[in-house]
Chain A
Amino acid sequence: KAGVTQTPRYLIKTRGQQVTLSCSPISGHRSVSWYQQTPGQGLQFLFEYFSETQRNKGNFPGRFSGRQFSNSRSEMNVSTLELGDSALYLCASSLAGGVLSYEQYFGPGTRLTVT
């Protein structure tokens, strides 16, 4: 089975711009979660989508948003980029059914640099 894929792998943006990141989950997985990882804050939960609905949300400003499509692919968007948004953005997928639904598998991540 193919793993979780994320595009693009690297991005350089300027302050004030917006960015859209994409994630394709493992085939059959219906839940997609997004995380931000920085050296100082570690791995922080952004949001989770299941069946095109946001099921959970972390403590991030409204500039961070996401969506999920009917094929379970997901996108996250960051508007009005700030220098502090520079991070590794990780997407993880899970089956979202029963106890094992919470075994999440990560994609390779998108490294975002804001200048």
Chain B
Amino acid sequence: QKEVEQNSGPLSVPEGAIASLNCTYSDRVSQSFFWYRQYSGKSPELIMSIYSNGDKEDGRFTAQLNKASQYVSLLIRDSQPSDSATYLCAVNLLNQGGKLIFGQGTELSVKP
């Protein structure tokens, strides 16, 4: 089992819809979870961090964490074509000295 897993996509949603991106992780003691957005040819940009169970909202973005199920998700409301990018989930693995391990990323395409 990979340490951090994401659906590779591509995920295609119409403009204005909700995009739902999912991530599972293997380390039960992980405490820090992050979502990065990466446009083609650019470096990853941090968009959300979440540390406790529940939801965290920032503008059109909502991160959801369920530690019991080892699951973290990112919802993008009112999706825009400019949201088209690859979204990377990252988990801080405490059982490996705090390494930040990334999933393979989910490619999101928002169609006008």
User: A residues engaging B (CB < 8 A)?
Assistant: 33, 35, 42-45, 48, 55-56, 58, 88, 90, 92, 99-100, 102-109
B98 — which chain A residues lie within 8 A by C-beta? 48, 55-56, 102
Interface stretch among B16-24, B42-50, B55-63, B76-84? Answer: B42-50
Asked if B87 CB lies within 8 Å of chain A CBs, one says no
User: In the assembled complex, which residues on chain B have CB atoms less than 8 Å from the CB atom of A100?
Assistant: 49
Proximity string of chain B (68-104) to chain A, C-beta cutoff 8 Å, 1 when within and 0 when not: 0000000000000000000010101000111111111
* Pairwise interchain contact A58-B99, C-beta atoms closer than 8 A: yes
B65 to chain A, nearest CB (A): 14
Q: Which residue of B lies closest to A4 (CB)?
A: B43
In the complex, what distance in Å separates the CA atom of A13 from the CA atom of B88? 29
B residues 6-45 touching A (CB-CB < 8 Å) = 31-32, 34, 36, 42-45
What is the CB-to-nearest-CB distance from B49 to chain A, in angstroms, rounded to a whole number? 5
Task: Please report the number of residue pairs spanning A and B whose Cβ atoms sit closer than 8 angstroms.
Answer: 54
Q: How far is the CB of A40 from chain B (nearest CB, A)?
A: 10
Q: How far is the CB of B52 from chain A (nearest CB, A)?
A: 10
Closest 6 CB pairs of A and B: A43-B102, A106-B43, A102-B32, A42-B104, A102-B92, A109-B43
Nearest-CB residue, chain B, relative to A43: B102
Q: How far is the CA of A48 from the CA of B101 in the complex (A)?
A: 12
Q: Which residues of A contact B104 (CB under 8 A)?
A: 42
Answer whether A43 and B46 are a contact pair too, CB < 8 Å, given A48-B99, A56-B98, A99-B51.
Answer: no
Query: Given A42-B102, A99-B31, A99-B32: A56 and B97 within 8 A (CB)?
Result: yes
Give CA–CA (A106, B36) in the complex, Å.
10
| Residues of A close to B100: CB separation below 8 A | 33, 45, 92, 102, 104
Q: What's the least CB distance linking B7 to chain A, in Å?
A: 14
CA distance A55 to B100 in the complex (A): 12
